[in-house]
Amino acid sequence: MSLAKIGSLKVKLHREIKGTIKTCTIKREGDAWYVILACEVEHEHLEESQEAVGIDLGLLHFATLSTGETIENPRYSRKAEKRVARLQQALSGKKRGSHRRRKAVKQVAKLHQKVSNQRRDFLHKQSRKLVNTYGTLVLEELQPANMSKRPKPKQDGNGKYLPNGAAAKGGLNKSLVDAGWGMFQQFYTYKAANAGRQVLFVTPKYTSQVCSGCGTVVKKELSERWLSCECGTELDRDHNAAL
């Protein structure tokens, strides 16, 4: 490509350019340079779908659908975390301003970059799948204060901790970052708009307490993973919330 004041550049195209290019931005992240093109495109035409789906975002599963399907969290960060720790330790042993230290700093940044690219890719693919399949997507409004609530570890009679899903394993912040709920919502909202799909937001306030079968409020602790209602409804907590 050719740029004013810079001249001609070699560019690796990750995807075909569609529509009319409106703006061009050059960005640097670590050692990598990116060319970002914003294009005006025609609306995308997807096959019409009368199907609606409810989506519950969680920590145990990235998302649970009202169909009962789950989308699992990729734990890229978790895996990369060990490598980062090792690299960082190596870093601490190196002299400030040294060539070796600079090299190590670069390695850490590169790894972070890789994890963030993988996460973005995952979110794009999952949101694309949902938008292609369903005519209406129903989601919870994200409320950061609620999201960070986690079940307290419970003790059994012998003072041992009982397993309760998201708790105890630690690194909740990491999970939140890993999950990238906000980015996910952003991705499917614009994909849906572009494809003429409907997106509805509901308050998640009672979705985990109200029985999806009869509407009764069934009080539960955050640690309870199962909903049992007098009406006979027996469901996984997240599946119930999605419904």
For Zn ion, the binding residues (CB under 5 A) are 211, 213-214, 216, 229, 231, 233
E-assigned strand segments in 93-190 = 136-140, 154-155, 161-162
Catalytic residue among 42, 72, 178, 238: 238
Cβ proximity to Zn ion, 65 vs 211, nearer residue: 211
Whether residue 141 lies in the annotated active site? no
Whether residue 140 lies in the annotated active site? yes
* Residue 214 CB, nearest approach to Zn ion (Å): 3
* Residue 228 CB, nearest approach to Zn ion (Å): 9
Distance CA 53, CA 65 (A): 7
Contacts 24+ apart (CB under 8 A), 169-178: 171/78, 172/59, 172/148, 174/77, 174/78, 174/81, 175/59, 175/73, 176/59, 176/147, 176/148, 177/77, 178/73, 178/74, 178/75, 178/76, 178/77, 178/78, 178/119
Catalytic residue among 44, 56, 221, 236: 56
Cβ proximity to Zn ion, 172 vs 218, nearer residue: 218
Cβ proximity to Zn ion, 189 vs 233, nearer residue: 233
Sequence-distant (≥ 6) Cβ neighbours of residue 241 within 8 angstroms: 56, 64, 204, 207, 208
Distance CA 142, CA 202 (A): 9
* Residue 35 CB, nearest approach to Zn ion (Å): 55
Cβ proximity to Zn ion, 30 vs 213, nearer residue: 213
* Residue 66 CB, nearest approach to Zn ion (Å): 16
Catalytic residue among 31, 121, 140, 230: 140
Q: Which residues are catalytic?
A: 56, 140, 238
